[in-house]
Structure 1
């Protein structure tokens, strides 16, 4: 029977920070999002205080101050580098690794007969800690869904790993496992399942396959089968459905004029296009959105968004910017105090699989040459050395990072020196 593993870093961003400042272990530590807006990572001590993910910083400021908390701004270069070290370490234990996000991955373990999976899981967690300094949780199961479920169950049990390699073990774990915590059960599914008094993974498993097929999509049926240990998803399929590429940021101050927001949207379009080129992918759709401050009840609220289908899959900065700016003009309305904007690319496919025709009018070769030129200049002289004029000429969109730590692994000046 093939087995799969799901691995994630415990309290990822906080773990990266405390790795280089071990004196902070046992303290209340939180990491804030872009522009120090809201909480996106918490130490266990912060969780015990009732601080939740996505809590606005100003709403928990007093609680943090009263408990002598340590606050960090997001240090993405550090987190990305530590993530890469983890993934390189995990690759030693599998013939197929899929990086699912910055702090989690799936591993294919294959048909393992003679291997003791508990000993193998213990070996992986201990070696990762030794080689990277990062604490991970590992779940193993016969399907991707059960591996993910095993990981979450291990966290609830405060264990480093959990192996679900027999029907008895699977049955015991799913019996009281909340359905809303099952991978793939979003808000819409949760509401629908609640209507039928389905509260646990066991309740869902006990439904007949025909009922699941009738009331849920194909993906819901796949999940049902996977909870019974029947693989319906493979790592390749998960990679194809992986999260889209997004760039967003809150403004330092409320924006009421269209022109400054256009500059920010153009910057996000360039960022998304660059990320696609770096992974040799293209996108079929772009979603552009605006947000007011939901916490400011004195202001009228407006959360417009628009999804635009790209005529032909692309990763061109010029094309993305043109589409994004036009889309922004369609959803922007005067009279609102906008606090955030962003772009999300979905429908991502490999660059080599794009199909064109004789009548598309899309000058692909020209767009690609321009993109390569911009990438080359920016790689040699620094990010933003060459950009489109619509992005503006100053650094007004630089993130607020009042609590930024050092770039311990990516900047020579910040490397720790031992004596």
Structure 2
């Protein structure tokens, strides 16, 4: 059996946890640059606020309902997510973090386990230990566990266990096919052509038909909805095939210096992610974007891919390459709105191919990177950075409604009396 767990209204829950007086109010969290709605309280959902609604389009409606608005506070959300994952690990021999607010638990090898009691215990204790409300779905496959989770939310329950064929049939009977894990817009459109409207309709299709029209991924989903596991929980995260860091500017940028600063910041972020997964990258791509939605502006979408001389994960090396690359593609006269850095060709850090004819100071670079990581880990991210990565970051994304760093910044820690 597998369990799927996620935090209810994750970003909103993190905000109201430290401001409990906001519970019961209309609360929304906005995306980068306060662009659109990415999290909503149940009260916000009730007044018709939808995911991805542009902030400027719903601004009046939110004001009329005395709504509370927050900018995305990713440091807070990531820390609270880590706390929840650490708590969940107590209730399973194997945990797979699926995203910032959800995880899969392997419950197969726990003898004498009462699934209903275990689900209730997990939900109650996570709420007690973290303050976060979660929903659990349990089923014989990962797809059914995910389906059980969504069904539990619709039933306004803390958990739902699909441990018998009768319970599985009852759950899939009216479950919308578009809400099934793995059914995207393309598959949904195709299935509608064959009048497949529910998970039960999909289960009744012949396996050969599914494989012919939905490839092996669709076939695996079909098998999982029949209770036959095709996906497994990995206790070791797979190595990323590509890592990217990008961000829109708060205002248009027309000069090179702030764009260089942003490129340096993204290169440092990518380098840190590489080191965290003990990897190195062989190629680096950097790009610039103007605002494609503003037809009054001239458009420019340059990018360049550079082969790294030696596979690297050093902030110094990747930043040097990124800054040189951005200078090569930037052109005056354009209103740039976004830049980003992406690395590919990712290999394990112990599989670097050296060159007999070129000096490569690998150990020196690793010591410098390790020193930066230690200091930033102790005193806060960005405490030690390269000079090209400005301290001011006037171009940084707009966050007019940012809450405090309650768990990651000493000056914002809540004081009780």
| Superposed pair shares fold, TM > 0.5 | yes
Tell me the secondary structure at the aligned position of residue 235 of structure 1.
coil
2:27–2:69 contact (8 Å) kept in structure 1: yes
Matches within 5 A, 1:107-118: 107-112=105-110, 114-118=112-116
Q: Using the alignment, how far apart are the partners of 1:185 and 1:309 within structure 2?
A: 37
Distance 1:22 1:192, change over 3 A: same
Deviations 1:6-26 (A, max 9, x none): 111001111111112111111
Distance 1:185 1:320, change over 3 A: farther
Tell me the secondary structure at the aligned position of residue 272 of structure 2.
helix
Cα shift at 1:375? 2.9
Cα shift at 1:58? 1.9
Tell me the secondary structure at the aligned position of residue 108 of structure 2.
strand
Cα shift at 1:69? 0.6
Cα shift at 1:383? 4.1
**Number of matched pairs:** 416
Q: Which of 42, 46, 54 in structure 1 is aligned with 2:52? A: 54
Deviations 1:318-374 (A, max 9, x none): 44335545665787676553322333556766545x463667969344543442244
Residue in structure 2 matched with residue 14 of structure 1 by the alignment: 12
Residue in structure 1 matched with residue 139 of structure 2 by the alignment: 141
Residue in structure 2 matched with residue 416 of structure 1 by the alignment: 414
Cα shift at 1:56? 2.5
Matches within 5 A, 1:15-414: 15-112=13-110, 114-236=112-234, 239-240=237-238, 245-283=243-281, 288-293=286-291, 296=294, 298-299=296-297, 314-321=312-319, 324-325=322-323, 336-345=334-343, 351-352=349-350, 354=351, 356=353, 363=360, 364-376=362-374, 378-379=376-377, 383-384=381-382, 386-392=384-390, 394-414=392-412
1:100–1:239 contact (8 Å) kept in structure 2: no
> TM-score, normalising length from structure 1?
0.85
Cα shift at 1:189? 3.2
Pick which of 177-186 and 358-367 moved more: 358-367
Distance 1:72 1:161, change over 3 A: same
Gaps of 5+ in 2: none
Q: Using the alignment, how far apart are the partners of 1:284 and 1:162 within structure 2?
A: 46
Pick which of 50-59 and 143-152 moved more: 50-59
Q: Using the alignment, how far apart are the partners of 1:271 and 1:82 within structure 2?
A: 20
1:100–1:242 contact (8 Å) kept in structure 2: no
Distance 1:47 1:253, change over 3 A: same
Deviations 1:222-244 (A, max 9, x none): 22222222112111299428796
Tell me the secondary structure at the aligned position of residue 234 of structure 2.
helix
Cα shift at 1:76? 2.3
Q: Using the alignment, how far apart are the partners of 2:359 and 2:51 within structure 1?
A: 43
1:291–1:302 contact (8 Å) kept in structure 2: yes
Gaps of 5+ in 1: none
Cα shift at 1:274? 0.9
2:95–2:235 contact (8 Å) kept in structure 1: no
Q: Using the alignment, how far apart are the partners of 1:303 and 1:38 within structure 2?
A: 23
Distance 1:221 1:238, change over 3 A: farther
> TM-score, normalising length from structure 2?
0.85
Distance 1:413 1:64, change over 3 A: same
Cα shift at 1:5? 0.7
2:202–2:222 contact (8 Å) kept in structure 1: yes
Cα shift at 1:95? 0.6
Distance 1:368 1:242, change over 3 A: closer
Pick which of 408-417 and 20-29 moved more: 408-417
Pick which of 358-367 and 204-213 moved more: 358-367
Cα shift at 1:32? 1.8
Cα shift at 1:197? 3.8
Distance 1:382 1:169, change over 3 A: closer
2:120–2:159 contact (8 Å) kept in structure 1: yes
